[in-house]
Amino acid sequence: MRIGRTLPPAASPITSIDFLRGIAAIFQGQQRIKRFDEEVKRYFDVPHCFLLSSGKAALTIILRSLHDLYPERYEVVIPAYNCYSVPSAITRAGLTVTPCDIDPQTLDFNFDHLSSLFLSNRKKILAVVPAHFFGLPSDIPRLRKISPDPEITIIEDAAQAMGGATGGKKLGTLGDAGFYSLGRGKAFSTVEGGIIITGNTELAGRIRQYYSQVQDYDLAETGKLIINALLLVFFQHPLFFWFPKGLPFLNLGETIYDPDFKIKKLSPFQAGLAAAWQEKLAAFMRQRNKKTGMMEELLDGGIFLDAAGTSKASLIRLPIVVHDLEKRKRILAESNRLGLGVMPTYPAPVNCIDELQYLHAEREFTAAREMCEKIITLPVHPFVTGKDVHKITSIVNANEKI
């Protein structure tokens, strides 16, 4: 275990001031939540917003509501390269995961594969959930164009893309509904949290019915949240991050399949942590864009994820593809030794999840598997210094030559 300055792979800092605002908000209660809700609606220019305990809770509620509207539809199409929270939410909603392979150039859907899924499963598909991985925009207009049926709902997974935009439109507002995550390591964080936004009145009506039955955080859960926020104030800082990183029970950086997660309404404490979120989000994005630009400048060519304008997207981690698996292993080992926060992403495509037995006979998702094996991400968050940028890019470049 490394002891000493260690960069987290991603971070949206929570300061001690934020923490105190969170505590103050506990005494303001619902009023504080209402304010956050209004701010979200205004910022994204959407009529409906629902605040929850996580991105996966948000997705579960959207899916349950949709299934009420279209009870004969039950399949949810997702990129096979994905965060395991997404299939967890689909299972939790009582629905079926239908993976689609990805385009390794963009991490977006492989649109040929998607078209053939539409052809064969048209009447069964409830929703398609495109994701803006790391902040790289998925092509929602193209998805809408090839979707054969207006009853198939597009739910935008903007968990990693809060604040990002494409073609002058904010990510999360291009689909029929969208959701954000406020978890640790996302674009902006309140320890944990999720936001649903939609302009669809019928869907919003259903969501509101479910939402009214969702419980608030109880006292013990609020206590745990407060402790975790306090831990984040200290341990997310590079000077102390080596400590939680060495504690295996925190499951840092792991992506796990578990449909048994809590679904709660966002608490006043979290709404308080989110005070001045628009300014903070903008400042984080400026920082990340600056570091992304510096890295792109310093990295030797040829290893970039050639996505739809990587340089224009607002990324939470900079993904690069390293084709030589030995090199990739060396970069990760070196980063680990030096505490530089370079990380792999998802362990395997979603069809490989043990619990999803019904997917095991599925075809291989070749590009998704390849990207699980080849992508590493470089940290670009506000704690990354210019010196870090040089160290990180030099271990990546050096391994090119070994």
Give the interface with ligand PLP as residue ranges (CB under 6 A): 54-56, 83, 85-86, 131, 157, 159-160, 181, 183, 194
Report the residue number, 101 or 334, with the smaller CB distance to ligand PLP: 101
Rounded-to-integer distance, Cα 328 and Cα 339, Å: 16
Could you tell me the CA-to-CA distances from 218 to 61, 213, 215 in Å, in that order?
20, 14, 8
Least spacing, CB of residue 181 vs ligand PLP, in Å = 3
Report the residue number, 198 or 393, with the smaller CB distance to ligand PLP: 198
Report the residue number, 129 or 322, with the smaller CB distance to ligand PLP: 129
Using CB positions, name the residue nearest to ligand PLP: 55
Check the CA dihedral 234-339-248-281 and report its sign: positive
Least spacing, CB of residue 52 vs ligand PLP, in Å = 9
Least spacing, CB of residue 267 vs ligand PLP, in Å = 15
Report the residue number, 155 or 395, with the smaller CB distance to ligand PLP: 155
Could you tell me the CA-to-CA distances from 123 to 69, 77, 118 in Å, in that order?
14, 13, 9
Least spacing, CB of residue 164 vs ligand PLP, in Å = 13
Least spacing, CB of residue 255 vs ligand PLP, in Å = 8
Report the residue number, 89 or 389, with the smaller CB distance to ligand PLP: 89
Residue 337 CA to chain centroid, in angstroms? 27
Report the residue number, 183 or 341, with the smaller CB distance to ligand PLP: 183
| C-alpha neighbours within 13 Å on the C-beta side of residue 345 | 27
| C-alpha neighbours within 13 Å on the C-beta side of residue 276 | 11
Least spacing, CB of residue 251 vs ligand PLP, in Å = 12
Least spacing, CB of residue 92 vs ligand PLP, in Å = 11
φ/ψ (deg, to 5) at 40: -65, -45
Looking at residue 253, its amino acid is: G
Check the CA dihedral 166-168-172-176 and report its sign: negative
Least spacing, CB of residue 275 vs ligand PLP, in Å = 20
Least spacing, CB of residue 400 vs ligand PLP, in Å = 29
Report the residue number, 254 or 297, with the smaller CB distance to ligand PLP: 254
Report the residue number, 159 or 375, with the smaller CB distance to ligand PLP: 159
Report the residue number, 180 or 299, with the smaller CB distance to ligand PLP: 180
